[in-house]
Chains A and B, each alone.
Chain A
């Protein structure tokens, strides 16, 4: 199906393990974003990417790594998962992001639990 998808939708892992969350979009949007959503904090930006091979940190990047070798994919890796990274993770994309009228399209989310 066209749009933005995330996998897995649910993941349980243990402290210290490496975990990769996948995000794929079919619109060829230039910009892609990763957010996490926690109770009491709303959505917070982790990383974003303006194009393939261009990434930058958001508000809460510590403990995360991203890459973007292809326009359509933007994986998020937790190199050594911690309990504080238990959260719901949302990927988003946008055709452009330089104008105040630009909008983002969000994926369905991945619920990650770190034991």
Chain B
């Protein structure tokens, strides 16, 4: 499976934008980039996913590099409630039938300062 690399932790201030990077240099052409986050003492929750074009939803934006070897999750205006571990996960055509579930790495621990 293609792997992802994320910084262990990042710190940001409340009400400022946050850019969470993810490197995936071995990504294949059909791999989708998914982001999940895990708030303290909760289960992971889906944030966003994309293939090539930048994507936006109510939670965040996903910016994907032109060569697709990296991506950035953007929280436009971080709040204290955005403090969580953010996971960048690749899913490709080989991920059929649920046999592999989701492959979580260690993610990035985002700290928000008031």
**Residues of A with Cβ closer than 8 Å to B?**
31, 33, 35, 42-45, 48, 50, 56, 58-59, 90, 92, 94, 97-98, 100-109
Does B97 contact A98, Cβ atoms closer than 8 Å?
A: yes
Describe A's contact surface by its main secondary structure: strand
Of B34, B98, B102, which one neighbours A50 at CB under 8 angstroms? Answer: B98
Does A42 contact B99, Cβ atoms closer than 8 Å?
A: no
**Residues of B with Cβ closer than 8 Å to A?**
30-32, 34, 41-46, 49, 87, 91-93, 95-102, 104-107
Q: Knowing A33-B101, A43-B104 touch, does A100 contact B42 (C-beta < 8 A)?
A: no
Of B31, B44, B93, B107, which one neighbours A106 at CB under 8 angstroms? Answer: B44
A-side contacts of B106, CB under 8 Å: 42
Does A48 contact B101, Cβ atoms closer than 8 Å?
A: yes
Does A108 contact B43, Cβ atoms closer than 8 Å?
A: yes
A-B residue pairs in contact (CB < 8 Å), sample of 19: A31-B98, A33-B98, A42-B104, A43-B44, A44-B104, A45-B102, A56-B98, A56-B99, A58-B99, A98-B96, A100-B92, A101-B32, A102-B91, A103-B34, A103-B46, A104-B101, A108-B42, A109-B41, A109-B43
A35 to B101, CA, bound (A): 9
A103 to B106, CA, bound (A): 19
Of A50, A59, A103, A104, which one neighbours B97 at CB under 8 angstroms? Answer: A50
A33 to B104, CA, bound (A): 14
A33 to B44, CA, bound (A): 13
A98 to B32, CA, bound (A): 13
A-side contacts of B87, CB under 8 Å: 42
The smallest C-beta distance from B49 to any residue of chain A, in angstroms, reads 6
A56 to B102, CA, bound (A): 15
Closest residue to A56 on the B side, CB-wise? B99
A58 to B95, CA, bound (A): 13
A107 to B91, CA, bound (A): 21
A103 to B32, CA, bound (A): 11
